[in-house]
Amino acid sequence: MDNSSPSPFTRNYTSEADLAAIACFPQEGPTDKTGIHPPCRPVQAKSPAVLLDASLQGKNLVRNFVPPQNQETPRGGQNLIALYFPKRFFKAAQGAMVIDGLKGRDFVSMADLSPGELGGLLTIATQLKCGQLTADCPRKVLGLLFRKASTRTRVSFSVAMVQLGGQVLDLNVQLTQVSRGEPIRDTARVLDRYLDALAIRTYDQGELAEFAHHANMPIINALTDLEHPCQVLADLLTVQEAFGSLEGLTLTYLGDGNNMAHSLMLGCALAGMHIRIATPPDYVPNEDIVLQARALAGDRSEVILTDDPKAAVAGAQILYTDVWASMGQESDAESRIPRFQPYQVNNALLAGCDRDAIVLHCLPAHRGEEITDDVMEGPQSRVWDQAENRMHAQKALLACLLGAI
């Protein structure tokens, strides 16, 4: 065909925002009686990896593109088809690229991901949620070893694994030898013989590191005192759904410099988002995590710490909070209230944000303390979408770690 002539595919995809690339490649198979090659058909495979082909002239080409039904098939000779690919197809391919790289790996920190892997996970989560992608891991078993109470984490992991076709074994710590002091290295080696993955919710981050050292199966951080990375996957998925993209957005976190602040700093840095952490002076985040987040952010975004909540919220697109006293700190809860009161997410502080700002809370919430009831139930709240997205984000994570796509 004459590559200088306009392609019918440009009719619906003419802006720079939609047109990602033009790929020309030989079309295999016989032509029909009119001399036209049959339209590209989707490959009925569960992995989007079939869409990515890097073998032709060193360039990434998306194959098996399905033209919109109202478009013609390009005509021409020499067995060539020129296709204009909307960016959404390349986004799907980006998600495909992370699958093999994550298979069998541990996920104990947000920093375990690269920016590309984070973006790919969010893409896969979106596709799973919308039904554009399926994943299946029959006969796989996920273990839950929780030392801390849990509602959303326990239920979302369980439902995600069942929807993937696998099973869940809830390992009640009080009913196992863990409660009697069995060494972690022994427990890890034994469970590694039974399970395909293990999600751990505990106090000490070092416990996860020891499990990961002695077990070959993927170890997942379902919350520690240092980090809560699975929550941040859901948070970023919710933000992406609200704004379409992540890079360049500003997230303000108000409250305690706890595990949520830590994982949010790392996640935002990976996503190219600006993050402002506003805490009382004596409750700042871990200095090592701050330095790690700033190193990940580089010159793409900023990681700012402040004790001024009004300055922190100015122009922010996302306003985020968490309880003022985390699990294990209940004895300090009452004494913290006067110190943290200026950091309460209320209508006055929300008014200082961007007019299209959304409000997030990882739950459970102490209404009337870190967040007012009217904000949590207000039109800018995305708290319930955020909670639902725990399931979708963790389903994508499990599917990748277990090679289920």
Q: State the chain's mean pLDDT as an integer.
A: 82
Between 259 and 27, the higher pLDDT residue: 259
Residue 236 has pLDDT above 90, yes or no: yes
Residue 58 has pLDDT above 50, yes or no: no
Residue 188 has pLDDT above 50, yes or no: yes
Which pLDDT tens digit goes with each residue over 276-298? 999 999 999 999 999 999 999 99
The answer on 148 and 116 residing in a single domain is: yes
> Does 275 reside within a domain?
yes
Residue 48 has pLDDT above 70, yes or no: no
Domain CATH code at residue 149: 3.40.50.1370
> Does 308 reside within a domain?
yes
Residue 72 has pLDDT above 70, yes or no: no
Q: Catalytic residue at 362? A: yes
> Does 332 reside within a domain?
no
Residue 182 has pLDDT above 60, yes or no: yes
Q: Catalytic residue at 228? A: yes
Out of 94, 362, 382, 392, pick the active-site residue: 362
* Amino acid 94: pLDDT: 53
* Amino acid 97: pLDDT: 60
The answer on 127 and 251 residing in a single domain is: no
State the chain's maximal CA–CA distance in angstroms: 82
Residue 29 has pLDDT above 60, yes or no: no
**In 272-381, which ranges are continuous DSSP H helix?**
287-297, 309-313, 333-340, 347-350, 373-376
The answer on 237 and 368 residing in a single domain is: yes
> Does 116 reside within a domain?
yes
Q: How far apart are CA 324 and CA 312, in angstroms?
A: 17
Single residue among 79, 94, 109 that ends a domain in this structure = 94
The answer on 379 and 236 residing in a single domain is: yes
Out of 196, 235, 256, 322, pick the active-site residue: 322
The answer on 103 and 57 residing in a single domain is: no
Q: Catalytic residue at 139? A: no
Q: How far apart are CA 390 and CA 392, in angstroms?
A: 6
Identify residue 336 by its one-letter amino acid code.
R
Residue 353 has pLDDT above 50, yes or no: yes
The answer on 255 and 143 residing in a single domain is: no
The answer on 172 and 251 residing in a single domain is: no
Single residue among 52, 73, 94 that ends a domain in this structure = 94
Q: Range of 119's domain? A: 97-227+390-401
How many Cα neighbours within 13 Å face the side chain of 79?
Answer: 6
* Amino acid 271: pLDDT: 98
Out of 228, 262, 382, 392, pick the active-site residue: 228
Nearest to 94 by CA among 122, 133, 136: 122
Mean pLDDT of 322-345: 88
* Amino acid 335: pLDDT: 87
> Does 222 reside within a domain?
yes
Q: Catalytic residue at 361? A: no
Identify residue 52 by its one-letter amino acid code.
L
The answer on 237 and 204 residing in a single domain is: no
> Does 331 reside within a domain?
no
Out of 37, 274, 390, 392, pick the active-site residue: 390
Which pLDDT tens digit goes with each residue over 119-157? 999 999 999 999 999 999 999 999 999 999 999 999 999
Residue 174 has pLDDT above 60, yes or no: yes
The answer on 251 and 195 residing in a single domain is: no
* Amino acid 31: pLDDT: 41
The answer on 357 and 236 residing in a single domain is: yes
Contact present, 320 and 251 (Cβ < 8 Å): yes
Out of 127, 231, 292, 394, pick the active-site residue: 231
- The set of residues, in sequence order, having a beta carbon less than 8 Å from that of 240 and lying 6+ positions away, is 122, 126, 246
Q: Does an H or E element contain 121, and which?
A: helix 115-130
> Does 39 reside within a domain?
yes
Tally of residues, the chain: 405
Q: How far apart are CA 333 and CA 341, in angstroms?
A: 12
Which pLDDT tens digit goes with each residue over 75-128? 333 333 333 334 444 455 555 566 679 999 999 999 999 999 999 999 999 999
Q: Catalytic residue at 37? A: no
Mean pLDDT of 351-370: 97
The answer on 357 and 238 residing in a single domain is: yes
Single residue among 40, 64, 94 that ends a domain in this structure = 94
Q: How far apart are CA 403 and CA 405, in angstroms?
A: 6
Cα dist from 395 to 108, 216, 344, 399, whole Å: 16, 20, 32, 6
* Amino acid 242: pLDDT: 98
How many domains is the chain partitioned into structurally? 3
The answer on 103 and 88 residing in a single domain is: no
> Does 253 reside within a domain?
yes
Mean pLDDT of 270-275: 98
Which pLDDT tens digit goes with each residue over 299-328? 999 999 999 999 999 999 999 999 998 767
Please give the torsion angle defined by the CA atoms of residues 73, 79, 84 and 87, in that order, rounded to the nearest 10 degrees.
110
